[in-house]
Structure 1
Amino acid sequence: MAALPGVRRSELGDALRACRTAFVGVGLMSCMINLLYLTGSIFMLEVYDRVLPSRSIPTLVGLIIIAGFLYMAQGVLDMIRNRILGRIGTSLDEALNKRVFDTIVRLPLLVGNRNEGLQPLRDLDNVRSFLGGMGPSAFFDLPWLPLYLAICFAFHVMIGLTALVGAIILVGLTIVTEFLSRQPAKEAMGLAAQRNDLAQASRRNAEVMVSMGMTGRMNARWSEANEKYLGGNQRASDVAGGLGAVAKVLRMMLQSAVLAVGAYLVIHQEATAGIIIAGSILSARALAPVDLAIAHWKSFVAARQSWQRLTRLLEQMPAQTMPTQLQPPTSRLGVEGLAMVAPGDQRIIVQDVTFALAAGNGLGVIGPSGSGKSSLIRALVGVWQPVRGKVRLDGAALDQWSSDALGRHIGYLPQDVELFGGTIAQNIGRFDPEATSDGIIAAAKEAGVHEMIIKMREGYNTQVGEQGGALSAGQAQRVALARALYGNPFLIVLDEPNSNLDTEGDEALTRAIRSARERGAIVIVVAHRPIGVEAVDQILVLRDGRMQAFGPKEQVLAQVLQPRATPPAPIKVVSEGGVTKS
């Protein structure tokens, strides 16, 4: 199906359209299933109008055999239809799960912490669960309601009118269910997300909570959030469940009403006894999809809201295109008039930063807390996008690389180190399925962590635990350093890499930086301690988000570290073009 000019097609819609053959098959099966649903009413009609008056046992046996065969066929088709719907949900998940995961990873880098967390994954689960449940079956059966009503009219006009009135009432009840359940279901999902976020935050900060006696207070906050969630969920359930109960009672009343009308017609000799039973069964069958739809309306509303949220999210974050594959960078890093804001914020925290580094250079970034050091290096590795200026590797801006391609040439050690659940080898090798033992060990040796690893009970196969919890802070930081060095990346950026290191770790870090520079890598180190910049040859000073100085280490440090009583001499700043300014 071609998209209309100027109309953006939904990725979810495209994923469902890819399953249109399966939907056609479900529609055809629904046709046969609904025709087979007539088996019960026709069987009862024949029993009352033919078998009982004739007292023919062979006729009864023949009808039982035929009805049994048709019931089995109906059961098989119903089972196949449900399996197809379940596989449609699975197919939708398979088509979109990578995109949804990608948005979960990228969204915090664009909007900061004001994002929906894991809600996109829950939304995808909601849509898949609904497609694999009984709800879609009801919607496929609803179009057959007129057929059953037409047959009821064929039995007798009074029976048809009774069934029609019941259908109108139940369809109206469905519309009421839609309007009454929409807002409570939306509120319940929002409260559920808040409750889950609080639970995840408490789990991450368990040590802080227990050590500082915050458990009781956080427990109270959790109870309050959980109470609100339970209240919202109860309101949504009350609406859906209450209207579902009303629908069920109305359907039973309608079935009895059809029996009463049939009995009245039999008394006046306008219908046979078989029509009474057949009409009752048909009217109940005609309204069963409406009853089922109301019963599953809560899940339908949740799936629809999830669908809308996912559609908006995927439209706001389109899939990344694969740019032309560039050659690996080998010579220089250039930063041109860089200005940065935090994701989801408007305040500029780094501005007008310009410098250049050549292969083999080591840069130390220093400055007081809050001066923008970590923000700057996030731009250098492509994590945050600048609002102005460019970061270039061998002249190519970072946005000319795909994130996966760029990542092979960058080693990054963030200030807050986190390892992934798995072995030390997997973490060092960045979970690359093609990572070789030689490459992993080489990175570990360059980081000076090889001896530490082989002394562990399982060596490189040691499980680090969730978020690296099985290792000490210093061990995790050194393993993360090895991960940054894996694959001999051209640009290595280390944010406070010695914050958890002892003397031995500091020495290993210094050796690793020198080794990387000797092979032609550019190393950038953010540090608060002088030992952190021991192995670099350039220094960049940031203050209030602006570059105060950039140049050879000894010259810049002499100016920065001189006594305050001495009037500072002009600091020479070397621009990208090599021009020296005072």
Structure 2
Amino acid sequence: MTAVPAARRSELADALRTCRGAFIGVGVMSCMINLLYLTGSIFMLEVYDRVLPSRSVPTLVGLAILAGGLYIAQGVLDLIRGRILGRVGTALDESLNARVFETIVRLPLLVGSRNEGLQPLRDLDNVRSFLSGMGMSAFFDLPWLPLYLAICFAFHVMIGLTALVGAVILIALTVVTEFLSRAPAREATSLAARRNDLAATSRRNAEVLVAMGMSGRLTGRWSAVNEKYLAGNQRASDVTGGLGAIAKVMRMTLQSAVLGVGAYLVIYQEATAGIIIAGSILSARALAPVDLAIAHWRGFVAARQSWRRLNRLLEQLPVRSAQMQLQSPSSRLSVEGVSIVPPGDQKVIVQDVTFALVAGNGLGIIGPSGSGKSSLARALVGVWRPARGKVRLDGAALDQWSPDVLGRHIGYLPQDVELFAGTVAHNICRFDPEAGSEDIIAAAKQAGVHDMIIKMRDGYDTEIGEQGHALSAGQAQRVALARALFGDPFLIVLDEPNSNLDTEGDEALTRAVRSARERGAIVVVVAHRPIGIEAVDQLLVLKDGRMQAFGPKETVLGQVLQRVAPPVPIKIVSDGGVAKS
């Protein structure tokens, strides 16, 4: 692996340094293995120069037994070395996989959808695979090439020079491989990411593609992207494969050249017959690591690119420092001059929003599509960091809380609901292994979903599958509402919570909002339908990202609702709520 400058020796380098003892052990074993590689050469030298002239069978048997024992020792050491390298790769993965997964989660919140998706995980796999593979063994064997060349020179200068010329040629091929494979490998990686993203997007939207006859056109688009990927991949393979084939031919040519030079020296009585065979074996062994390195160069290039990408990513998203534990919020939510720019964008979509709520308040946020309602909701729960201004709970800005601690005080139902593979109970309790069944059932009852759950095949233990595909859209939304209410959070933000609900679900939502307010929570509801704000007492109107009105619901409705509400007849009911007329 290429050296990393001191300024960039971060978590990857630190993780590798923890394996320093293993690398030292691999280096010692590589020394012993390469010394044992001399067994074949010495054996043939002794057979030709000692056994054949003396015709001594006992000497041959003794040499054969000794050589067999050394070969077994070599094989055992090679096996142990491979297993140690495999453990090094596993140890690197174990020390970094949680951090890499964390960056995958955090990255879209910082740069938006323009991110590498699952590329960091693939990068970690590339580094681990290279550390565990034959390519890494070749790099440990390469430093022993001078030893074999020195022994070849000890046999005869001509044999040494022949082996040296071959080594120079193969090393030159390695350098050429490096320069020629760098660009194709980078291109192949980029094209692979595009292909994978298209496949994942098509899979998520399979129903839309089939229902609207788009599958054929998307298949054509996939074929075009895949064709580019295959072409880029083929270029990378052609470079490494072609140079690898040249290296093999050169190595066999060199072995024959050494035999020819040895034969010439024997003819002129400057070497023995044993030196011919021993020199040939040694020269081949000397260049075997170079040959192996070229064969695995593509993996090395991929691992190096992955190493650099991971380094950059982990530097951009450093480990969060430990933050002082604050008291649980219980009294106030303040939004102070908040302006929001979506991650990875430059356009301000929410500008200078200011308001405050106290415990027990319910706020409805309404406005036309594209007015910034969902963006404001994301800022309220700390998902998006405001470009200007602060969101505070009991006076403390959200960035003063660690995400895991803050999450216990927040309930959030996003506009696009997605559940995770697991049981209904797992999803409601947010996969908290210490959650009690009483708390899970309490959250489900607050959301009005308990009766629906117990009628399922396995009740709360029903597996809902990937992305909750076993549930209908309405069921998933109600389970997600229970997840938002779990643990009695102080701030509850519901973005279009009734978009998939029927009448029963609407009524359950209204009861849940009122119940949360009665226990002292602050509830924020983003709504297009008037029924979504029945149980709130405050109203905020957004238009073009700016706050048009804020205050008691009845007052705000009387002033501006006709200008921003959807074309649904409404009326103010006796309890101050809103209902369809």
- Measured at CA, do residues 5 and 46 of structure 1 come closer, stay the same or move farther in structure 2, by a change above 3 Å? closer
Going from structure 1 to structure 2, the CA distance change for 1:160 and 1:6 (only over 3 Å counts) comes to closer
Give distance in 1, aligned partners of 2:520 and 2:32: 71
- Residues 45, 562 of structure 1: alpha-carbon distance in 2 compared, 3 angstrom cutoff: closer
Q: Which residue of 2 aligns with 1:182?
A: 182
The one-letter amino acid of 1:18's match is T
Match of 1:573 in 2: none
Indicate how the Cα distance of structure 1 residues 69 and 263 shifts in structure 2: closer, same or farther if over 3 A, else same. Answer: same
Deviations 1:178-211 (A, max 9, x none): 0011101110111111000000000000000000
Q: CA offset at residue 382 of structure 1?
A: 0.3
C-alpha distance in 1, partners of 2:192/2:345?
26
Query: C-alpha separation between the residues in 2 aligned to 1:133 and 1:562?
Result: 68
Contact 2:177 2:240 in 1 (8 A): yes
Aligned to 1:571: none
Per the TM alignment, residue 267 of structure 1 is displaced from its structure 2 partner at its CA by: 0.6
Which residue pairs with 2:266 in the alignment? Answer: 266
Residue in structure 2 matched with residue 417 of structure 1 by the alignment: 417
One-letter amino acid matched to 2:455: K
> What are the superposed Cα offsets for residues 354-391 of structure 1, whole Å, 9 maximum, x if unpaired?
11111111100111111100000100000001111001
Q: Which residue of 1 aligns with 2:87?
A: 87
Indicate the SS of the match to 1:346. Answer: coil
The 1:298/1:6 distance shift into structure 2, 3 A limit, reads closer
| Alignment deviations for residues 339-365 of structure 1 (CA, whole Å, 9 cap, x no partner) | 100111111111111111111111001
Q: Distance in 2 between matches of 1:202 and 1:23?
A: 44
Offset, 1:445: 0.3
SS at 1:523 equivalent: strand
**Matched residue pairs, number?**
561
- Out of 545-554 and 198-207, give the one that drifted further: 545-554
Partner of 2:76: 76
Other structure's SS at 2:7 match: coil
RMSD: 1.3
- The alpha-carbon deviation at position 463 of structure 1 amounts to 1.4
Question: What is the aligned partner in structure 2 of residue 532 from structure 1?
Answer: 532
Q: Which residue of 2 aligns with 1:44?
A: 44
Structure-2 residue corresponding to 1:12: 12
Structure 1 residue 501, shift from structure 2 partner: 0.5
Q: Which residue of 2 aligns with 1:577?
A: none
Distance 1:563 1:21, change over 3 A: closer
Q: What secondary structure sits across from 1:561 in the alignment?
A: helix
Q: 1:514 to 1:158 in 2, by over 3 A?
A: same
The equivalent of 2:549 in structure 1 is: 549
Mapped to 1, the partners of 2:445 and 2:526 lie a distance apart of: 22
Sequence identity of aligned pairs in percent?
82
Looking at structure 2, the residues matched to 365 and 8 of structure 1 have their Cα atoms a distance apart, in angstroms, of 46
> Cα–Cα, structure 1 residues 310 and 278, in superposed 2: closer, same or farther, change >3 Å?
same
Q: Which residue of 2 aligns with 1:578?
A: none
**Which amino acid in 1 is paired with 2:470?**
A
Q: Which residue is equivalent to 2:333?
A: 333
Please state if 1:523 is matched with 2:533. no
Match of 2:254 in 1: 254
CA distance in 1, matches of 2:409, 2:160: 74
TM-score (norm 1): 0.95
Do the aligned partners of 2:259 and 2:276 also contact (CA within 8 Å) in 1?
A: yes
SS for the counterpart of 2:422 is coil
Name 1:457's counterpart in structure 2: 457
Alignment of 1:439-478 (within 5 A): 439-478=439-478
Query: 2:97 aligns to what?
Result: 97
Q: Who is 2:293 aligned against?
A: 293
Query: What pairs up with 1:227-376 in 2 under 5 angstroms?
Result: 227-376=227-376
Distance across 2 between alignment mates of 1:150 and 1:561: 90
AA aligned to 1:282 is: L
Gaps of 5+ in 2: 565-581
The amino acid that maps onto 2:232 is G
Q: Which amino acid aligns with 2:151?
A: I
Tell me the alpha carbon deviations over residues 486-519 of structure 1, each in whole angstroms, 9 at most, x when there is no partner: 0110100000100110110000000000111111
Cα distance in 1 between the residues matched to 2:224 and 2:548: 49
Give, as a single letter, the amino acid of the residue that structure 1 aligns with 2:20.
Answer: R
The one-character-per-residue Cα deviations of 1:38-75 (angstroms, maximum 9, x if unpaired) are 00000000111111111111111111111111111110
Aligned amino acid, residue 396 of structure 2: A
Instruction: Kindly provide the CA deviation profile for residues 86-134 of structure 1, in whole angstroms up to 9, marking residues without a partner as x.
Output: 1111111111111111111111111111111111110110000011100
SS of equivalent to 1:550: strand
Q: What residue in structure 1 maps to residue 192 of structure 2? A: 192
Q: 1:175 to 1:8 in 2, by over 3 A?
A: closer
Separation in 2, partners of 1:144, 1:8: 30
1:120 aligns to what SS in structure 2?
helix
The residue aligned with 2:161 is 161
Give the secondary-structure state (helix, strand or coil) at the position aligned to 1:344.
coil
2:150 corresponds to 1:144: no
Aligned residues of 2:181 and 2:236 also touching (Cα < 8 A): yes
- Contact 2:497/2:532, CA 8 A, preserved across alignment: yes
Aligned partner of 2:108 in structure 1 is 108
Q: Deviations over 1:364-422 (max 9, x none)?
A: 01111111000001000000011110011111110011111110100000000000011
- The residue type equivalent to 1:465 in the other structure is G
* 1:562 Cα deviation from its structure 2 partner: 5.1
Q: Encode CA deviations 1:66-85: one digit per residue, 9 max, x unaligned.
A: 11111111101111111111
CA contact (8 A) 2:338 2:388 kept: yes
Quote the offset at 1:6 in angstroms: 8.8
Equivalent in the alignment of 2:571: none
What displacement does 1:9 show? 2.9
Q: Given residue 198 of structure 1, which amino acid in structure 2 is its aligned partner?
A: L
C-alpha distance in 2 between matches for 1:463 and 1:558:
47
Structure 1 distance, partners of 2:65, 2:394, is 81
Residue 569 of structure 2 is matched in structure 1 by: none
What's the offset of the Cα at 1:526?
0.3
Q: Secondary structure at the match of 1:541?
A: strand
* Aligned residue in 2 for 1:131: 131
What amino acid is the match of 1:183?
Answer: A
- Secondary structure in 1 matching 2:349: strand
What is the rounded CA distance, in whole Å, between the counterparts of 1:294 and 1:93 in structure 2? 26
Conserved in 1, the CA contact under 8 Å of 2:8 and 2:311? no
The AA in structure 2 aligned to 1:75 is G
Instruction: Give the drift of 1:7.
Output: 3.1
**Letter of the 2:388 counterpart:** R
SS in structure 2 of the partner of residue 264 of structure 1: helix
1:390 corresponds to which residue? 390
